[in-house]
Structure 1
Amino acid sequence: MRVFRNIPQPNKIRGQLHRALILITFIIGLCIFIPTLFIEFRQTIQHQNEEMVNYLNAQTYFFESWLTERSSDIHTIANLDFVKGYHYEKAQDFFQDFKDKTDFTDLIFVNKDGIVQFDTVTELTTNGTGVNVQKREYFQIAKKTQQPYITDIFISKVTNQPIVAFASPILNEQQEFNGVVFGTVNVQIINQYLHESRVGFLGHAYIMNQNGMMLTELNVRNNDSSSEQFIVDEHILDFAVNNTANDLHVYKDMNGKWVFAKSKPINQQGNYDYQINEHQLAPYAQEFQELCSSFNDMSTKVRQDTILLKELSITCQLTKLYNRRYLIEQGELVFEKCLEDENACSCIAIDIDFFKKVNDTYGHLIGDEVLKHVANIISNSVRRVDLITRYGGEEFVILSPDTTIESAIKIAERVRENVEANPYTNDHVKINVTVSIGIAQYGRASDVATFYELLDKADQALYMAKESGRNQLRVYDSTKVGTNI
């Protein structure tokens, strides 16, 4: 018996092999294409992430620097002599001129009772003069902390525009709260700066506070001052606040389009030494490289300006000596170091005799020259370790660490003699100048135990020197104030 098998025809075999080959080729293609697609996708995400990081760093640094500069502006204004002295007319002229040259929308002078003395909003029929801002947050915080303060966004009751306020306390000669200077900036200015710095980036950057209120991309419609229109979507806020890992976030925007998002917290203290590594920017567009180079230049300038502002805040602009603020800040540290090392510490208070007569007779310009003349003599008459300050008006204070009363007397007498021996002269006038001096030392008097008591006792001895006829020295003694030298 024979068994016959169905043998496939050659054409069928070729067709099956062809289909199998196509299937295998397709599978191999998928095996190559899918990983390649995935790798390209990851590279695109990485590139986008790096681009956003660079952009966020640049924008964040810019905004931090801008905040710091504006806060420093207000702090410097609050420490000007004519502001601290409540010279409203001179202060108002300065405020107006300063506002016209800066980003500030308004500059406001508030007295210690919270009453606005004047502001610089002149284009409106009504301004803030006479308004009581005692309950405003920026006033309360500046009064309580005696430190500069930057507010969140709020709606101005004068301009009805969203603004940010920069406040700094005014401190009197005793370093007591004496009012507030604050400047406001319309947030549209911030928004404008962000748009101008969008070189090399196709996306959008927004700034919001920790409560989700937008500080940019704002529009006040129909004079609606409701803050609800400025709140971002809840899930975006949650991502920005809780994104401690600094990850990319993917979501659909209001138009239904998928977008990548990345956030970065803003530190208002600023990082003046921050520099972008330009060598890492080689793969990016030339425009972005130029932007980052500009930011590095700005970083250097901001750091230099910050140092300059610090110097201005602790230096008398007229005499170039340290001011009272610096004496209060550093004097106590010097005094405490002397106590710790069990060394003597002396304080010398100096006052120019009949200085009011100089101003009345020759005018304040000559009076200023006399002040500078005396300050220069004092600087050349003391040691390098002595801390010289213009304490206020025509009074100077020298803090002498590690100095006994005997050594302090020698220093003070040298100052007195040099001032008397060197009258102020110019092409038109010669003015004989003398000074009265009071001296106190920690440890010599039983009622001198702190830096402030040392200052007070030197001042008491100075008062006795003036009462005793001027152009002389007096040493404080608890048993007999103003002992003769």
Structure 2
Amino acid sequence: MKSSRLDGLIDRVHMKIGAKGMRGRLYVLIITVILFLLGGLVLFSTLVALANITRNRTEQLTYSVSLQGRFIDQWLAERILDIRQLAALSEMKDFDLSGMKQCFDVFLRNQNEFYSMVFVDADGIARIDMTFGPGKDLSDREYFIKGSRGKPYVSDVLIGRNSGRPTVIISHPVYKDGKFHGVVFGPVSLDALNQVVKTSGVGGEGATYLIDGHGFLISSLKIPEHSGETPYLARGSQGRLQPRTRIMEDAGRGIEPGGYYQNYQGLEVMGVYSRANRGRWLVVGELLRSEALRPFWTLQAVILACALLTLVAALSIAYRLARFISRPIESLDRGTELMKSGRYDHRISPDEMQYAPIEVRSLCRSFNLMAETIEQHIARIQTMATTDQLTGVFNRRHLMEQGKTMLEVCQRASQPCSALMIDIDHFKKVNDNYGHPVGDRVLRHVSGLLADGLRGSDLLGRYGGEEFVVVATNADKHQAGVFADRIINRIRSTPFREDGIELNCTVSIGAAEFRPDHDGADIFESMLSEADQALYKAKNNGRNQVVVG
């Protein structure tokens, strides 16, 4: 009886919505089942998504802050390396005060982290101070004490006794023949550290800040204009800010933060921390609760949209089938358009063709094979167009084009640029006595030695025959002469040995530096011409030498 009443109710509902036939009633049944399933799925996914997104956002924030801590450590290591390289210079070891000052001048001009440099002798007296002048006794400073024990040092934030400026000191000892000669140190402003922190923040509404070993702020915070001392933010005796949030208490006790808390502005945030500077500094990352949960609400919208799309799909199988068939074809069409525009590296992902008909999948494989073949041919053509096939270095055409470009860059940057014209001495005798195959191998031998001795910014090309050209950026003619001497010594000390043949190879080199008074269109050719004239003199003077034009 109850079953009959239920059947009657269902029948009346069907009649009311117009589902009179089997197809209509089947649609109603499918939609009803889908609605129940989707409702349960939405409820379940809401609970799971909230937990997962909170965990994922915490993990992302933890990774970002840990990465930033490593970034700060790497930045500090690079600054220590800067100071270490200065400490290793002969001017420091030989106590050449004039040379030290020149080195410091060059160093300060070419970087923006350190705002001054100081050399302190073994007695703790500042012999060179680029800001306050020499003569101050610094023997009681921690960086000098550490340096006298042979250790580099990175200080906490210090307030300069003379300047009153908050800084971080980075120092390194100077030793010669095992004897302590003094300490080189440089102060880094908090502006530089602020810039380091800003380069890898957490993004969005998040904030990252750096705390020193005493709990004071190193990097800047977004402080409202009306904000004074609050329950979450205090000011020290020297005006320095000291956050007093729960995460600072957790860090002090060495426990992992969890959940949400009030930040220095009284806003509810998620926060994590990591250590930097050998554990002495604290990197704190915070994310507003609203920002942390934004993916949750986005996911909820996506889930509801998917539920709606599922309902539409249940009523529109034909539309889904058309879309199912057309999507792989659209991928192929998009691939051909990209290839027409020069994107020969584009490949159609097999995932896009996972449910495509077998004919379309075969066409996808053929397209990818064709694209790979074309890309290989294009790469081979580009290599052949720029490379000397015998020696493997750049050919003359590419040398001239790239050399002009490099010279223009040096001109705009007001940097020197030089050219070395290199000729293998008595190469004709090699061909005459041993044949051209051996001569070709000698060319490859010499070009390989030249390539091995280049800097990353230099350009090497075969100018013609047994002549090569090196374009050395950021090098005046004197530096180019030193570079050329190294090339001559390297080639002279590395004979050609192959198939029982041993040949002592030497080269003659002409070096020239570009002059701004040359005509702009021909300045590169003029520099090569001067280098060629210098090469001519080197050959006339007996070969196996360098002449600087």
Report if TM-score (shorter chain) is over 0.5. Answer: no
**TM-score bucket of the superposed structures, by smaller chain:** 0.3 to 0.5
Task: State the TM-score, normalizing by the size of structure 1.
Answer: 0.45
With structure 2 as the length reference, what TM-score do the two structures score? 0.40
